[in-house]
A = this chain, B = another copy of it.
Amino acid sequence: MSKLPNLAVVGATGAVGTVMLEILTSRKNVWGEIRLIASPRSAGKRLSVRGEQVEVVALSTDAFEGIDVAMFDVPDEISAAWAPVAAEAGAIVVDNSGAFRMDPDVPLVVPEINPEQTRNRNRGIIANANCTTLAMIVAVAPLHREYGLKELVLASYQAVSGAGQAGVDALHDQLTRVAGDRALGSRTGNVRNAVGDDLGPFPAPVALNVIPWAGSLKDGGWSSEELKMRNESRKILGLPDLKVSATCVRVPVSRGHSISVHAVFGSEVDAEGAREVLRGAPGVILVDDPANGEFPMPIDAVGTDPSWIGRLRRSLDDPRALDFFVTGDNLRKGAALNTAQIAELIAAEFVPATR
């Protein structure tokens, strides 16, 4: 094979799809045709990618004709129904939903960590990890390779864009109502009264608040988001017995997920050694100089490719434990960028090895 492969972007008009078109435009071009697919409602729209205006076509079986690689940036139930259709039509699917991540016949791939798993695509489908897991795991993996990971205790600070554009709209609508009243935060119920019923996709106001909830309720009081962090971390690192406790919390940040990490290893660690490991790690930027105000934060990490890691300290009570803080752009590495990187690994299969 030596032609450039043809790519389909399913869900091209959504929040992640929009970032995907930016990424496809800015990264090295490895694609023949790029076909944009969305719901029939969006068909006929023209979107810009690689400097060209491309007309969106409606999702259908025929839409995958001639397509070699299909990225899916759509809700779980749409992926569950249509990814197998695309695979049946001959496309290799890279799916950003949660529909296939824990399927034993579907690899869960982070190119910096387990690129070789792209080959084990028995169903013709490769899954992209959850956005919160991705930001964290890129920073944790090199430390695992050095010290042997045994346990993770995680607390997240998740941006509203993790719930799509509706989350961003809800936050800004609420902020507009509360920004001017600096006494508002001093009495119970005040913010609820000011915000009214305009909660968007969240169970409570998110302006001037933190909401310790993301996803749906599962056994034992865990949220689906918290279980994803546990199960996906285990699968990506190939550590089926890894101990993981995660608490997922929504914060009034537009974009950029952060995670406070307590990581326990099999051998002794030291903070400077860990920093040295991270300086050479792919997909990671070390930002760790608190005396000069340098630590990972959403307002800096957003719009960039790497996971930002900092605040590295060795536990004062356990020489095998490290504490640190990670921030990543939930729509780039957390979604569109990682999908693009996986798709590029597959694109390389279409090019002769001698090139």
Chain A contributes a number of interface residues (CB within 8 A of B) equal to 82
Asked whether B258 lies within 8 Å of A210 as measured between CB atoms, the reply is yes
| Majority SS at the chain A contact face | mixed
The answer to whether B251 and A297 touch across the interface, beta carbons within 8 angstroms, is no
Q: Does A220 contact B (CB under 8 A)?
A: yes
Nearest chain B residue, comparing its CB with the CB of A258 = B210
Q: Is A51's beta carbon under 8 Å from chain B?
A: no
How distant is the Cα of A191 from the Cα of B256 in the complex, in angstroms? 13
A254 and B184 CA atoms in complex are apart in Å by 8
How many copies of the shown chain assemble into the complex?
Answer: 2
- Are B260 and A155 neighbours in the complex by a CB distance under 8 Å? yes
Does A352 reach chain B (CB closer than 8 Å)?
Answer: no
Q: List 29 A-B contacts (CB under 8 A).
A: A155-B155, A157-B157, A157-B210, A157-B249, A161-B185, A169-B182, A175-B175, A175-B178, A179-B179, A185-B253, A185-B255, A185-B299, A188-B301, A190-B302, A205-B299, A210-B297, A211-B297, A212-B297, A212-B311, A212-B325, A220-B271, A221-B271, A221-B288, A245-B262, A245-B315, A245-B318, A245-B323, A247-B323, A260-B260
6 smallest beta-carbon distances between A and B, as pairs:
A185-B254, A155-B155, A175-B179, A155-B260, A243-B317, A203-B293
